[in-house]
Amino acid sequence: MKFIDEAKIYVKAGDGGNGAATFRREKYIPMGGPNGGDGGRGGSIYVVADCNINTLVDYRYTRKFIGKRGENGGGADCYGAGGDDIILRMPVGTVISDLNTGEILADLETNRAPRQKTNGDQGEEHELTLELRVLADVGLLGLPNAGKSTLIRAVSSARPKVADYPFTTLHPNLGVVRVDAEKSFVMADVPGLIEGAADGAGLGIRFLKHLQRTRILLHLVDLAPIDPDADPVRDAKAIVGELLKHDPALADKPRWLVLNKLDLIPEEDREKTVKDFLKAYKKATKYDGPVFPITAINGEGTKPLIYAIHEALEQMAKPEIPDDDELESDEENSPEA
């Protein structure tokens, strides 16, 4: 199944029923007073985070959700029945925003849900944008054909498409990497970036946001590009530049360098190739983080990598879930709002 990560839907809470303007009329009770019942409330729309769902594919086919109208009130204090509520189940990690204003209404990472309610008035209505941000411990980034899909296939049971042409991966893929029987972490294979991605080039900014909730970024670099004009140092610098342009906080995440495709370099030249690359790359970017030379296609060098990742994740504090006040402050200041 394709990883569906965005959808647009229309929701409208049910209208409230009308109250009845009636008076009690009985023999020997000339001034019985009003006895009209209230109208029933309209059906509400609730959004619930469901950990058993991992795509928004259902909302690509059904896009309108309208709550039932409340029944009108009647005489003799008869109250109208309320309209049935509608519950929309979405993956944990879905961000819900107003399509027209951009205002973030809810982030299902924090178990908040927007509740529509009415007091006998017209039901509220919104056109909503649903955006599922991948929830993973580790995110893979790099140019198309850097070997991200090959790596996630080598270390997990995920089976993304692998081919020798750019943009083979069009949707993020998640893979569970098992270190042993009781230890694991989640890795996300995100479609390849190109220079200008933060400004919308290639697959653009759409997939950069999927890296925002990861705790470690693995920057894959192809040390043996097929294109004779390619420059691994220049290309690696371009990816770092896109992170900085998109979100400086994203660029500040722990980022490890993974040098891939050593199998395409003659064995006697590998050590020098890695050394020359690191010398130029560190000079250009001041990088001083971990470096892992690997061959993803046959798994060479991947075991030390996954053990190091798991150890680092164990030492990292779990990201805290902000309280409501912090969320409201963040949403007011958010560039998406």
With b meaning 16 or more CB within 10 Å and e meaning fewer, what string describes 168-183?
bbebbbbbebebeeee
User: Binning pLDDT at 50, 70 and 90, where does residue 257 land?
Assistant: very high
CA pair distance 68, 14, nearest whole angstrom: 5
- Cite the beta strand spans of the chain per DSSP E: 6-12, 45-50, 64-66, 86-91, 94-98, 104-107, 125-132, 138-141, 173-180, 183-189, 216-222, 255-260, 291-293
CA pair distance 265, 310, nearest whole angstrom: 29
Each residue of 6-56: pLDDT tens digit?
Answer: 788 898 888 877 766 666 666 666 666 666 667 777 888 888 888 777 777
CA dihedral 100, 104, 107, 112 (to 10 degrees): -100
User: Binning pLDDT at 50, 70 and 90, where does residue 118 land?
Assistant: very low
Amino acid identity for residue 134 in this structure: V
Q: Parallel, antiparallel, or unpaired for β 125-132 and 94-98? A: antiparallel
Across the range 271-297, mean pLDDT stands at 94
Q: Where are the domains of the chain?
A: 6-132, 138-315
Per-residue 3-state assignment (H helix, E strand, C coil) for 239-267: HHHHHHHHCHHHHCCCEEEEEECHHHCCH
pTM, two decimal places:
0.57
CATH of domain 6-132: 2.70.210.12
Burial bucket for residue 62 (CB in 10 Å: 0-12, 13-18, 19+): exposed
Are the C-beta atoms of residues 265 and 273 closer than 8 Å to each other? Answer: yes
Task: Identify the CATH homologous superfamily for domain 138-315.
Answer: P-loop containing nucleotide triphosphate hydrolases (3.40.50.300)
| Residue 211 neighbours by CB under 8 Å, 6+ apart | 139, 141, 188, 190, 217, 250, 253
